[in-house]
Each structure stands twice: as structure tokens, then as C-alpha cells.
Amino acid sequence: MLMRTESFRELDRLSQQLLGATGTWSRPSTMPMDAYRDGDVYVIALDLPGVPPEAIDIGIERNMLTVKAERRPVTGSDDARMDLSERPLGAFCRKVVLADTLDTARIEADYDAGVLTLRIPVTERAKPRKIAVGTGARHQELPS
């Protein structure tokens, strides 16, 4: 239902984790995701812990789904001094090429407990169906 187009994305993710790199808008970090089909709906779940819903931007152009988000540092006041910072900050982006068998006009998005869940219905033409077998009446010989 979706295609992986960025072959080095996983390598980028691992290097960002090792180096502690912060995502920027010109080079955003990736976000972990799961994707699966549940009946007639394709589900994509993306981890965005600590990101407020208003900082999430979801777009679709043709069959390219783009999810962007930003997580800023949280400090109590201007006098706060950071002693430890391990949580990823900055810009995050994930692009997913969706199959033509998904109804991108009817995508639903929910955000709960730091997980963005997108539900994309499968089109009618992509659903399994039975094909009736004819009795051969159409294939009778024509009179000469």
C-alpha cells in the first residue's frame, strides 16, 4: 500500500541518534512509524511525543503524504539551565508514497498520547470481490 523511496533514511536516523543531531527545516529528523491494513482501512501511526497538535502539518499532493512537526525545548523560565537534554528537538518530517488503491480524499487524522494516527480508506476498486462465471451463452456458435 506504500512504497519506500528514501533508501538512506534509516542510515540518517541512526546517525542522528548517535550524534544527537537536532532536526532543522532544511534537514529534518525522521519520526518512527508503523503502517498496516485493518480491514478496509490503511493505518499509519507516527510517534510524535511532546509535540503539540497545532505544531503538526499534514499534506497530500497526488499520492505523496507529507507529515511535518516541530518540537521546541520546554523550559520553565528564562533562568532555567539545562543539565541534561536527551529528547529529540527540532523539525521532523516523514514522506510516504501511497498506492493508487487508497482514497486520499478521505484521510482522517487523530492525535492521542503522542501518536498521530492516520486512517486512509481503501478504494472500492481495490477491495476483494467475486467474479461471476458465465454459463457459456455468449460463446455459442453463430449460424452459417
- Looking at residue 12, its pLDDT comes to 59
Query: Three-state DSSP class for 57?
Result: strand
Task: Measure Cα distances from 22 to 36, 107, 141 in Å.
Answer: 29, 30, 74
pTM: 0.69
Amino acid at 63: N
* φ, ψ for residue 115, nearest 5 deg: -120, 125
Q: What is the model's pLDDT at position 143?
A: 61
Q: In this predicted structure, what is the pLDDT of residue 115?
A: 96
Tell me, what's the pLDDT at 84?
A: 77
Show the cell assigned to 18: 548517535
In this predicted structure, what is the pLDDT of residue 52? 92
Tens-binned pLDDT, residue by residue, of the chain (144 aa): 655 555 555 565 555 555 545 555 556 677 889 999 999 999 999 999 889 999 999 999 989 999 999 888 777 677 878 777 777 778 889 999 999 899 999 999 999 999 999 999 998 776 677 888 888 766 555 565
Compute the distance between CA of residue 56 and CA of residue 26 in angstroms, rounded to an integer: 17
Cα angle vertex 24, ends 33, 57, to 5°? 55
